[in-house]
Structure 1
Amino acid sequence: MTDPALTTVEIEPIGPVRSSVIWMHGLGADAHDFEPIVPELHLPVELGIRFVFPNAPIRPVTINNGMRMRAWYDVLSMDLPRQEDPDGVYASERDIYALLEREKQRGVPAERIVLAGFSQGGAMALHTGLRYPDRLAGILALSCYIPLASKLNSERRPANQLTPIFMAHGDYDAVIPMRYGQQSAEALKALGYAVEWS
């Protein structure tokens, strides 16, 4: 079995595992950030969902004066999309691919895996899910945007063209302006993706 580079916190279902949710946290948070939400979802036991919460790598973050923290990629400036960190985004994409492959090796087919995330984690869910070669069950992207959006059209894979995508953004998000999320949702719809925006 492939041993992914990212450490994880996992919540196993009571019964057999039938599906998985890989949920990425936001900038400066960690794998425990969304762990408490699982019981609040009141999901039916028979769904057999394993929740996998990975820790982003620790790296210097430019907008935080180079402070080292958990981040899926460096944030050079809040002036998106002009100043992005493609090397960091692609490195995290590879790490998330490894988690997806591990879930498949543990018996969960890709079409029963949801990629989810908040803020930077949501950006990585979109980035990775739209480029993944196998059909996923869904993509959940909260308070985020599409990183490296100018490359999406040439890098996206047809396997996830019909994958349901749910995007939502907090009205009072002071970190990532809602317009970035709305623009991303509209761009995906223009490419024919099934996006629900809330």
Structure 2
Amino acid sequence: MIKLRKIYPTTRAHSGTVIFLHGSGDTGSNLAEWVRFLLGRHMDFEHIKMIYPTAPVQAYTPLSGELSHVWFDRRAITIEALENRKSLSQMYEKINDLIQNEVELGVSPSRIIIGGFSMGGALALHIGYHLNCDLAGIFACSSFLNRDSIIYETLRQSLAAGTSLPELRMYHGAKDKLVPLDWGKETYEKLTELGVNGNFIPLDNTLHELKKHQILDIRDWILKKLPGEIQYKL
């Protein structure tokens, strides 16, 4: 079961939703607090609901099989490793349930954005470009995809069919030692070659972390993708 944490729900019906996925070993509440610390306040909107889910506890191979809050298992933290598709598939349905719940509340998929940090960003890419191409946008911070990712197979089919894809916004620390900048850049270039439109933003003097100006840029991008003019339904 994924635990949800909503930040300041609106008193009137929201017309947009952002699902922000944490990195490995973290929790949704910790990510929300990290964002609040960077901004000096919660990243909340009058017409947009923020959801910070927490990944289930499961064995994680890079930690010698120790239990941790992770979205999926990896064989190793390297772009060359084979993607653990079985582990990923077990999480697809859970995230899709979050999306479907918002749709049942009256929010169109075209008014839903999914993003994440590190592993959370990788899962966001899977949701947006492998499972649900109808979303408003995808953002990924300090993330990468394995070179054999199933996403690339799906996008080749989407490209041939002329499918419209969510806009992508990727950020990556230039000094990231855990997930090197080259991995993020290679991922972005492969995605754009297969029809994804977006931006890749290197962050100077940044390690494997979030920065205030990065969160501010994400906030502005969210408002651009999910404007408030149609925020309330009568």
Shorter-chain TM-score tier: 0.7 to 0.9
Which amino acid in 2 is paired with 1:108? V
Partner of 2:5: 9
Tell me by how many angstroms 1:133 deviates.
3.7
Q: How far apart in 1 are the matches of 2:116 and 2:4?
A: 14
Unmatched 5+ stretches in structure 1: none
| More helix, by proportion | 2
The RMSD of aligned alpha carbons is: 2.4
Unmatched 5+ stretches in structure 2: 202-234
Partner of 2:110: 111
- Determine helix, strand or coil for the equivalent of 2:122: helix
Which piece of structure 1 moves more, 93-102 or 128-137? Answer: 128-137
Give the 3 Å change call, closer, same or farther, for CA 149–160 of structure 1 in structure 2.
farther
Q: How far apart in 2 are the matches of 1:121 and 1:115?
A: 9
What percent identity do the matched residue pairs reach?
Answer: 27
Partner of 1:29: 26
Q: How far apart in 2 are the matches of 1:84 and 1:43?
A: 33
TM-score between the two structures when normalised by the length of structure 1? 0.87
Tell me by how many angstroms 1:148 deviates.
6.7
Please say if 1:189 is aligned against 2:192.
yes
Partner of 1:169: 172
Q: How far apart in 1 are the matches of 2:164 and 2:180?
A: 26
Give the 3 Å change call, closer, same or farther, for CA 73–42 of structure 1 in structure 2.
closer
Q: How far apart in 2 are the matches of 1:111 and 1:56?
A: 24
- In the TM superposition, what whole-angstrom CA distance separates every residue of 1:85-139 from its partner, at most 9, and x where no partner exists? 2111111122111111111111111000000100000000001111234511100
Which piece of structure 1 moves more, 75-84 or 86-95? Answer: 75-84
TM-score between the two structures when normalised by the length of structure 2? 0.74
Q: How far apart in 2 are the matches of 1:149 and 1:117?
A: 21
Q: How far apart in 1 are the matches of 2:94 and 2:45?
A: 29
